[in-house]
Structure 1
Amino acid sequence: MPSISIKGKSMPESPIRKLVPYAENAKKKGIEVFHLNIGQPDIKTPDCALKAIKNNTIEVLSYSRSEGSEEYRQKIADYYSKKNINVTANDIIVTTGGSEALLFALGSITDPGDEIIIPEPFYANYNGFSTASGVNIVPVISKIEDNFALPPIEAFEKLISPKTKAILICNPGNPTGYLYSKEEIQKLAAIVKKHDIFLIADEVYREFVYDNAQHQSVLSDFGLENNAIIIDSVSKRYSMCGARIGCLVSKNKDVIATALKFAQARLSPPTFAQIASEAALETPQSYFDEVIVEYKDRRDTLINELAKIEGVKVAVPKGAFYCVAELPVDNADTFAQWMLEDFSLDNKTVMVAPAAGFYSTKGFGTNQVRIAYVLKKEDLIKSVEILKAAIKKYNTI
């Protein structure tokens, strides 16, 4: 029988999606499942984006340019200028989701066997993207006890080798919700310039920042014109996960020219989704103001409810819509699957994402879960009630 590649065997499962069959089986048994496992907002997609599709009169759904339409890229540049990110349309490659943007970035700056340093826990698919690109992740540990703050810069220095090509951060963070301060970005800027490597920043949650904090983009006044690469997406910002439109942004002309070759190889990003995404840029600030208030309220509700469960430790997020909670269970993977297969309260159960998959260091995060607070408050309260009952029962088995 033909054999599967070593790369294929090494490709990790998604901790966010691997338990879906168990959730579907629970639903078939009539059990309501509260999905806290995935960052799928329940916030309504802006009307302007939906109307751009409904009212469109295209007769031939043709290819777009490989780098994305010029009109859309110019409007993205205009959006960034309002965020103190001064780029042009030529500094932007439109991609099929932020995932493709990161794959293009890795393909443009790394060779097989090269290394990227990532503070962990990190977005689980970074493991998959790195495996697909033949890149080795070198983790630097951030801890729940420190609210997942940036580790000391000395920790990064110790890990840099001749094979190091980049430091990758997610800001605000997925899965932690951690928001990097200006001082932390300055420290990272100094180290990447010192070692002549790249700083890749996944900034897809830029709009979701709480407690009067400010988001710091790596392309805002840090002198990283040659070193910085931004990964971005419309998925979370406009509640348009299904559009699969993202972008790669860099003022480094070599990076853009190289990423464009990858973009040409896959032809072009989807035309209709670009139309919707271009229209979404007309979304008024009032939309985000309301969404931020809603998410902050949900965050506070979730954190307050989790604090009522004995033995639970939780980091308080400053952005995005996730938190990592440490549970008093022996194994979060086993526990999460058990909740879907064998537990319900009032015919309801909860689906969470086991956090071990958000680490590359074996044995880390085994009793942690990522919780996405993308449900309305009453559902979050009920979910934590179910979680509390589940923990109690699980620990008696």
Structure 2
Amino acid sequence: MPKISKKGLHMPASPIRKLTPFADKAKLDGKKVYHLNIGQPDIETPEGMLNAIKNIDFKVWAYTASEGTLVYRKKLTEYYNKLGYNITPDNILVTTGGSEAITIAMMTCLDPGDEVIIPEPFYANYNGFACQSDIVVKPILSYIENGFALPPISEFEKLITERTKAIIICNPNNPTGYLYSKEELDELKELALKHDLYIFSDEAYREFCYDGRSFISPMHLDGLEQNVVVMDTVSKRYSACGARLGCLITKNKEIWNAGLKFAQARLSPGMVEQIAGAAAVDTPDSYFEAVNKEYTHRRDTLASALNKMEGVFCPNPGGAFYVVAQLPIDNADKFCQWMLETFSYNNQTVMMAPATGFYSTPGAGQNEVRMAYVLNNDDLEKAMTCLNEALKVYPGRVVEAESKKAKAESF
């Protein structure tokens, strides 16, 4: 029998989805499963976006331009220039989800064997995208004790080699919820200019910043115009994950021109999605204000409940809709599977993502899980009650975690 490729063998499984068979089995057994494993918002998609689809009137469902329709790119320009990006439609490539924006950026800017530095834990699919492109991920650890702040620039310097070509940041961060400051981005700017590096800025959660804190993009930093590639998506800000509509933004024309060739190779982004995306730009500010208020409430509910549990520590995130929590457990993968396969409380259980899959460093994140606060507040409270009861009886509970929590809280 023919064998699959080495790349297929080495392609990592998603920590977000790999436990789905166990969740499905739990449901067949009659358990209620609270899905905190995946960033699928339950917030309603803006009405204008849905109405645009309902009112479509065309006779031929045709290809669009490989770079995206001009109508949609003009509307996107309105959105980004309102944020101070100072771009034109010719700076935008429309992509099939944010995922394609990331893969096109990698393939355009890096050769096989080139290295990209990523603070970890990081969005798990970066590992998969790098595998697809034969790129080497050089992880740099951030730590739960200080809320997963950007590691010192001196630590970045230690990793830079002649093959280093780029740094990826996700801001606000998935999976940690950390919101990078202007000072941290200024330090990255100086590093990128010193070593002539690209900065890939994953901004899927731009609209989700809490406690009055502001979002800063590398696009806002003078002098970085030729180094920055923004990767974005409508999935989160408009609660439209199924649209699979994203974009790549750069002021570097060499990147744009080369990226267009990759976009041409996959033909074009969808027509219907772009019609909906154009309408989405006119979503009123009141929509985002209400969403922000709701997610702030959910964050507070989840973080507070976690930190009240014995042996658990969870930093309070400044953005996105995720937390990474440290639990008194021996192995996150084993614990998350045990929750679905063995445990139930009042016939309920919780699905989480083991944090090991958000690290590239072997052995990192063994006692951490990522949770997405995308459920309503009542369900979050029930899920936390269930988790608390599970930790009391989990066979692999680790007592030493109690002291780790005290250390983190005093940091």
TM-score surpassing 0.5? yes
Does structure 1 residue 209 correspond to structure 2 residue 209? yes
Does structure 1 residue 25 correspond to structure 2 residue 18? no
Letter in 2 for 1:352: M
1:278 maps to what in 2?
278
- Distance in 2 (CA, whole Å) between partners of 1:242 and 1:363 is 33
Letter in 2 for 1:232: D
1:46 maps to what in 2?
46
- Distance in 1 (CA, whole Å) between partners of 2:368 and 2:72 is 40
Letter in 1 for 2:320: A
1:377 maps to what in 2?
377
2:106 maps to what in 1?
106
- Distance in 2 (CA, whole Å) between partners of 1:252 and 1:193 is 14
1:336 maps to what in 2?
336
SS of residue matched to 1:378: helix
Residue 308 of structure 1: CA displacement? 1.3
SS of residue matched to 2:175: coil
Letter in 1 for 2:187: K
Answer whether contact 1:189 1:222 (CA < 8 A) is retained. Answer: no
- The equivalences for 1:1-397 within 5 A come to 1-395=1-395
Letter in 1 for 2:105: A
- Distance in 2 (CA, whole Å) between partners of 1:186 and 1:58 is 48
- Distance in 2 (CA, whole Å) between partners of 1:388 and 1:79 is 42
- Distance in 2 (CA, whole Å) between partners of 1:355 and 1:386 is 19
- Distance in 1 (CA, whole Å) between partners of 2:273 and 2:347 is 38
Letter in 1 for 2:227: N
- Distance in 1 (CA, whole Å) between partners of 2:9 and 2:87 is 40
Letter in 2 for 1:259: G
Residue 277 of structure 1: CA displacement? 1.0
Answer whether contact 1:87 1:251 (CA < 8 A) is retained. Answer: yes
- Distance in 2 (CA, whole Å) between partners of 1:396 and 1:17 is 23
Answer whether contact 2:327 2:368 (CA < 8 A) is retained. Answer: yes
Deviations 1:43-81, CA, capped at 9 Å, x for gaps: 000000000111111111000000000010111111011
- Distance in 2 (CA, whole Å) between partners of 1:369 and 1:353 is 6
Deviation larger for 172-181 or 25-34: 25-34
- Distance in 2 (CA, whole Å) between partners of 1:137 and 1:364 is 15
Letter in 1 for 2:124: A
Count of aligned pairs between the two proteins:
397
- Distance in 2 (CA, whole Å) between partners of 1:396 and 1:254 is 53
Letter in 2 for 1:15: P
- Distance in 1 (CA, whole Å) between partners of 2:34 and 2:315 is 21
Answer whether contact 1:114 1:136 (CA < 8 A) is retained. Answer: yes
- Distance in 1 (CA, whole Å) between partners of 2:124 and 2:221 is 30
Answer whether contact 1:201 1:231 (CA < 8 A) is retained. Answer: yes
Residue 222 of structure 1: CA displacement? 3.3
Residue 99 of structure 1: CA displacement? 0.2
- Distance in 2 (CA, whole Å) between partners of 1:301 and 1:221 is 35
Deviations 1:94-129, CA, capped at 9 Å, x for gaps: 000000000000000111111000000000000000
Letter in 2 for 1:117: I
In structure 2, runs of 5+ residues without a counterpart are 398-411
2:405 maps to what in 1?
none
Letter in 2 for 1:268: S
Residue 396 of structure 1: CA displacement? 7.0
- Distance in 2 (CA, whole Å) between partners of 1:101 and 1:205 is 15
- Distance in 2 (CA, whole Å) between partners of 1:282 and 1:359 is 37
Letter in 1 for 2:165: K
Letter in 1 for 2:335: F
TM-score by length of 2: 0.96
Letter in 1 for 2:59: E
Residue 29 of structure 1: CA displacement? 1.1
Letter in 2 for 1:272: V
- Distance in 1 (CA, whole Å) between partners of 2:154 and 2:93 is 34
2:402 maps to what in 1?
none
Answer whether contact 2:186 2:221 (CA < 8 A) is retained. Answer: no
Deviations 1:352-384, CA, capped at 9 Å, x for gaps: 000000000000001100000001111111101
Answer whether contact 1:186 1:222 (CA < 8 A) is retained. Answer: no
- Distance in 1 (CA, whole Å) between partners of 2:343 and 2:223 is 53
Letter in 2 for 1:295: Y
Deviation beyond 6 Å, 4+ runs, structure 1: none
Residue 395 of structure 1: CA displacement? 3.0
Question: What do you get for the CA RMSD once the two structures are aligned?
Answer: 0.8
TM-score by length of 1: 0.99
- Distance in 2 (CA, whole Å) between partners of 1:386 and 1:348 is 7
Residue 393 of structure 1: CA displacement? 1.2
Letter in 2 for 1:248: L
